[in-house]
Amino acid sequence: MTDTHWLFGDQLGPAFLAPGEEGPARDAPVVMIESRSVFRRRRFHRAKAHLVLSAMRHRAAELGGRVTYVRADTYREGLRLAVGRGRVTVHHPTSRAALRLVRSLGDVTVLPPRGFLVGPDEFAAWAKERRTLRMEDFYRRVRTDHDLLMEGDGPAGGVWNLDRENREPPPRGARSLGAPAPYRPREDDIDEEVRHDLDRWERDGDVSFVGRDGPRAFPADRRQALAALRRFLDHRLAGFGAHEDAVLAADGVMSHSLLSTSLNLGLLDPAECVEGAEAVWRAGGAPLRSVEGFVRQVAGWREYVWHLYWYFGEQYRTRNALGHTGAIPRWWEELDADAVSARCVATALRQVRDTGWTHHIPRLMVLGGYALQRGWDPAAVTDWFHRSFADAYDWVMLPNVVGMSQYADGGRMTTKPYTSGGAYIDRMSDLCGPCPYRPDRRVGDDACPFTAGYWAFLHRHRDRLGRNARMSRAVRGLDRLRDLPALLEQERVRGDAPP
Ligand code: FAD
C-alpha cells in the first residue's frame, strides 16, 4: 500500500508534494492535522491563528478527496485517527519539537526538508571549513553555488553587498514612501468559517488570543501568494533598497515585500522569489541595490537563520549570557499600545496589535531593543515574538530573538548587541518629532526612554561590553556622564511602566 504523506501547517506549497526519490509517492494520500492543543499551549495573536488555519483549510480544499483533514487534540491522536497503523512519510518539520515527535512515532519516514535553497549537507560542508560562521561569507557562497546575481565568477556589478547604499533615512518631510500598495487578499467562505470557529473556541474558554481580529492581511493559498510575489516584483521591488532601514509612522509597510508569511507557510519557494527578483533586474525593472538587498534577505539571512537554528543545538533556546531575568510587563504582553506615550514603542506595538506584523527595524531596534535595555528574560521575549507575529515559527525565532535581538548567546550571532539611544531612531524615522520624549535628553521628564535606557544598559554590563572591541568606546562614554547617578535612579523609578 502507498505511504500516506503528512503535511504540517507550514508545508502548504507544491514543493511538499513533489513526487520523487526524496519526496512522497506520486498521488500518495495526504493527511493534515489541525491540532487544538497547539492553540491551547500558547496565547497566539488572533491574526496568526486565523492565517494558519485559513491556509491549512485552503490547502485541504485544493487537495479535495486526496486529503484526510483531521481536527484532533494532538498530532499523535490525529495521526492515529487518520492512518491507524499505516505507514507515513513527512518532509523534515521546521521545529525540534515536531522533529522529535515524528521520530518518536513508529512507521514514519522523514524526508529531506523543503522550502529552503540550501540543503543540510551543503550547509554542513560550508560550516566545517571555518571557525566563525559569518553571514556575509555564507551569503557569498550561496550566491556562487546557486548562480544568483553573478557575472562570471564575480558578483553582478562588481560588489557583493550594497548595504551601505541601503541605509538612507526616510525622505525629509514625507509621511509615506509613496510605494504602490502591496497585495492584500480578499477573504472568502473559508475565512468566515475560521473566524466563526475561533470566536467559538474563545467563547468556550478553550483558548485565548492577543491582538485584534481584522481582515486577513496575508495570502492563504498558492494563488494569492503568487499574486503577492508578482505585485512586489513588478511594482515595489525597485524601491526596496534605499530606505530598507527607515521607519515612517504613517507608512508601516514602506517597500517591504510582506512575503515572510507566504515563505514560512511554504506557499512560496525562496528560489522563485530570488530568481524572480534577478529577472526583474536583468530586464532593467529595478536597480541592483534593491535587488541585491532583497536577495540578501532571502538567500542570505533567511537561509542562514534556518541553518543556525539546527546548528546551534537545543540548548540555544535557554541561553542567557547577560543574565536577564525581568518579566514582560502586562501592557506589553497585551499589546496595549494606547497605554504608551513614547511614539516609537506605541507605533510598533500598535502595528503588531492590529496586524501581527511590523518590518525588520521596529522588531530589532524598537521592540527587541526596548526588551534588551529593560533586561527582560530572553526566553520570555522569544516566546512573545513567537506568539505575536504572523510569520513567526520556532526556527526563525531562536536565532533572530535569542541571538540577534537579545544578545543572549553572548555574541555567536552578532558581534555586538543591537540597541541604540534615541538618536538612531530619530535619524532613521519620523517618530521622534511629536513624541513627548526628546532623543537628546537623558534625564528629566522628557528624557527619551531609549537614550536613558541605552546608558543604563551599558552601565549594567560595563565589564562585559567594555571588553568588546565594538562597544568599548561607547562604554568609556559612561565616564563622561556626570548625571549618570541621576539617570540610573530615574530608570529605577520608571521601571517597567509604559514609557
Ligand atoms: P522583507 O524586508 O521584504 O525581506 C524579505 C524576506 O527576507 C522576508 O520575507 C524574510 O523571508 C527574509 N528575511 C529577512 N531577514 C530575515 C531574518 N533575519 N530572518 C529570517 N528571514 C529573514 N522573520 C520571519 O520570517 N519570522 C519572524 O518571526 C521573524 N521575527 C523576527 C524577530 C526579530 C526580533 C527580528 C530582528 C527579525 C525577525 N524576522 C522574522 C526577520 C524579519 O524582520 C522579517 O522576516 C521581515 O520583517 C518580514 O517582513 P517582509 O516579508 O516584508 O520582509
Q: Is the pLDDT of residue 498 over 90?
A: yes
Calculate what percentage of the chain has a pLDDT beyond 70.
100
Q: What pLDDT is attached to residue 239?
A: 94
Mutate to test the pocket of ligand 1, among 139, 253, 391 (most ligand atoms within 8 A of CB): 391
Atom of ligand 1 nearest to the CA of 255: 3
Give every CB contact of residue 153 below 8 A, 6+ residues apart in sequence: 144
Same domain, 330 and 308: no
In a domain, residue 196? The reply is no
Q: What pLDDT is attached to residue 164?
A: 86
In a domain, residue 422? The reply is yes
Same domain, 105 and 166: no
Cβ contact 171:249 at 8 Å:
no
In this prediction, residues 40-58 reach a mean pLDDT of 96
Same domain, 380 and 476: yes
Q: What pLDDT is attached to residue 163?
A: 86
Same domain, 174 and 68: no
Cβ contact 247:361 at 8 Å:
yes
In a domain, residue 263? The reply is yes
In this prediction, residues 255-272 reach a mean pLDDT of 98
Burial (CB count within 10 angstroms: exposed 0-12, middle 13-18, buried 19+), residue 381: buried
Same domain, 230 and 284: yes
Of 312, 336, 370, the residue that ends a domain is 312
Of 88, 111, 134, the residue that ends a domain is 111
Tell me 337's DSSP state.
G
In a domain, residue 352? The reply is yes
Q: In a 3-state reduction of DSSP, which class is residue 70?
A: strand
Pocket of ligand 1 (CB under 6 A): 256-260, 263-264, 294, 297-298, 301-302, 305, 359-360, 363-364, 368, 385, 389, 391-392, 396-397, 400-401, 404-405
Atom of ligand 1 nearest to the CA of 232: 3
Q: Tell me the per-residue pLDDT of 127-156, one tens digit each, with 9 for 90 and over.
A: 998 888 999 999 999 999 999 999 999 999
Calculate what percentage of the chain has a pLDDT beyond 90.
95
Q: What pLDDT is attached to residue 106?
A: 81
> How would residue 199 be classed by pLDDT, with cut points 50, 70 and 90?
very high
Q: Ligand 1 centroid vs 411 CA: distance in angstroms?
A: 20
Atom of ligand 1 nearest to the CA of 270: 11
In a domain, residue 202? The reply is no
Same domain, 156 and 304: yes
Q: Is the pLDDT of residue 1 over 90?
A: no
Q: Tell me the per-residue pLDDT of 106-123, one tens digit each, with 9 for 90 and over.
A: 889 999 999 999 999 999
Structurally, the chain folds into a number of domains equal to 3
Same domain, 227 and 330: no
Atom of ligand 1 nearest to the CA of 392: 28
Q: Tell me the per-residue pLDDT of 201-256, one tens digit each, with 9 for 90 and over.
A: 999 998 999 999 999 999 999 999 999 999 999 999 999 999 999 999 999 999 99
In a domain, residue 323? The reply is yes
Return the residue whose CA atom lies nearest to atom 28 of ligand 1. Answer: 392
Atom of ligand 1 nearest to the CA of 298: 7
Q: State the CATH number of the domain containing residue 440.
A: 1.10.579.10
Q: Which domain holds residue 21?
A: 4-111
Q: Ligand 1 centroid vs 367 CA: distance in angstroms?
A: 14
Q: Ligand 1 centroid vs 360 CA: distance in angstroms?
A: 6
Of 111, 131, 154, the residue that ends a domain is 111
In this prediction, residues 2-9 reach a mean pLDDT of 96
Compute the C-alpha angle 410/374/421, nearest 5°.
85
Same domain, 375 and 470: yes
Q: Ligand 1 centroid vs 264 CA: distance in angstroms?
A: 10
Same domain, 490 and 396: yes
Q: Ligand 1 centroid vs 309 CA: distance in angstroms?
A: 15
Q: Tell me the per-residue pLDDT of 269-308, one tens digit each, with 9 for 90 and over.
A: 999 999 999 999 999 999 999 999 999 999 999 999 999 9
Return the residue whose CA atom lies nearest to atom 36 of ligand 1. Answer: 364
In a domain, residue 188? The reply is no
The average confidence (pLDDT) of the chain is 96
In this prediction, residues 474-486 reach a mean pLDDT of 96
Same domain, 165 and 229: yes
Q: Ligand 1 centroid vs 462 CA: distance in angstroms?
A: 31
Same domain, 106 and 128: no
Q: How far apart are CA 434 and CA 324, in angstroms?
A: 32
Q: Tell me the per-residue pLDDT of 64-109, one tens digit each, with 9 for 90 and over.
A: 999 999 999 999 999 999 998 899 999 999 999 999 999 999 889 9
| Per-residue burial over 474-491, b = 16 or more CB atoms within 10 Å of its CB, e = otherwise | bbeebeebeebeebbebb
Q: Ligand 1 centroid vs 112 CA: distance in angstroms?
A: 23
Q: Ligand 1 centroid vs 56 CA: distance in angstroms?
A: 22
Q: ipTM of this model?
A: 0.99
Q: Is the pLDDT of residue 165 over 90?
A: no
Same domain, 407 and 348: yes
Q: What pLDDT is attached to residue 131?
A: 86
In a domain, residue 195? The reply is no
Q: State the CATH number of the domain containing residue 283.
A: 1.25.40.80
Q: What pLDDT is attached to residue 166?
A: 85
Q: State the CATH number of the domain containing residue 57.
A: 3.40.50.620
Q: Ligand 1 centroid vs 262 CA: distance in angstroms?
A: 12
Burial (CB count within 10 angstroms: exposed 0-12, middle 13-18, buried 19+), residue 436: exposed
